[in-house]
Structure 1
Amino acid sequence: MRNIFYYNTMIGELGIEENGLAITKVFLVDKDIEKGPSEKNETELLKEAIKQLNEYFDGKRKEFNLPLAPKGTEFQKKVWNTLKEIPFGETRSYGEIAKLIGNEKASRAVGMANNKNPIMIIIPCHRVIGANGKLVGYAGGIDIKEKLLNLEKN
């Protein structure tokens, strides 16, 4: 059974979901409609996830230490694992991520995988920007992306 709980944060209400072993989803409640059965139950893993997220929002955490199990294709998982390598406070372009995964012509596919990231913030898709340095395409909205990047700069 999947467990889910909702938390108010500086960027809005976050839903966090886990499967009993790992975090499977972190999402903005007003941007994502829940799919599939889950039980509203605040487990120890969910408590640890929100604790680490709040430390991040407070500027006290730069890396997350949580078991993750995002659902996606092998290509998506490869992209998401590469996103976790982007250091706190830094950004990469879609093209740079494509090169890092060994397929420099895949920047659009990287963008699509980025868009499907089910574990926002912890898998830092907000750190991926356009080749021209512009903030583009964030499921939570460009305003949230900008807020997260500014939080990491300070």
Structure 2
Amino acid sequence: MEVAYIQTPIGIAELKGDENGLASVSVLDINKPIGTIPDVLKSAAKQFQEYFEGTRTEFDLKLNPEGTDFQKKVWEALQEIPFGKTISYLDLSKQLGDVKAIRAVASANGKNPLWIVVPCHRVIGTNGDLTGYAGGLHRKKWLLEHESPVKQTALF
């Protein structure tokens, strides 16, 4: 498994993958030397740069996350949420065919190993509240604002 570190506006991202695809992306709360990017991760690093520059709204990468069949089903559904849109955990559960599975869906969402590429940050509470995010709520807020079609300027 190859590893690369890239600088993003919300922290250092750690990318892991090999010839079978991108296995995980996470954000670190510590500084890491950036170093060289392995060939198998260059496309992912470039696409992340484009995403943060605002020129990419979809990722085109071979993915290879580890998870249960149910988790993979949830992660596939997350990839259907359009850039700049959000969905509630309840609506995601309905979309997957079982409203009673809301807690299992939320758990699978929280175990998503592919930060941003599989956009778990686009899932919010039924009442519109920002709810848990493995990278921290401040990052979830930043990502949703970054993707928002309406750019709000600071008032003060």
TM-score scaled by length of structure 2:
0.89
Partner amino acid, structure 2, of 1:117:
N
Cα gap change, 1:24 to 1:71, in 2 (>3 Å):
same
Partner amino acid, structure 2, of 1:145:
K
Partner amino acid, structure 2, of 1:101:
L
d(CA) in 2 for partners of 1:95 and 1:41?
42
1:24 maps to: 23
Runs (4+) of structure 1 exceeding 3 A deviation are none
d(CA) in 2 for partners of 1:78 and 1:97?
11
Please tell me whether the aligned partners of residues 3 and 20 of structure 1 are also in contact (alpha carbons under 8 angstroms). no
Please tell me whether the aligned partners of residues 3 and 41 of structure 1 are also in contact (alpha carbons under 8 angstroms). no
Q: How does 1:36-115 map to 2 (within 5 A)?
A: 42-115=37-110
Unpaired segments ≥5 residues, structure 2: 150-156
Matched residue count:
145
**How far off is 1:41 after superposition?**
6.8
Task: Give aligned-pair identity as a percent.
Answer: 48
**How far off is 1:106 after superposition?**
0.9
d(CA) in 1 for partners of 2:47 and 2:116?
11
**How far off is 1:29 after superposition?**
2.1
Matched, 1:153 2:148: yes
Partner amino acid, structure 2, of 1:119:
L
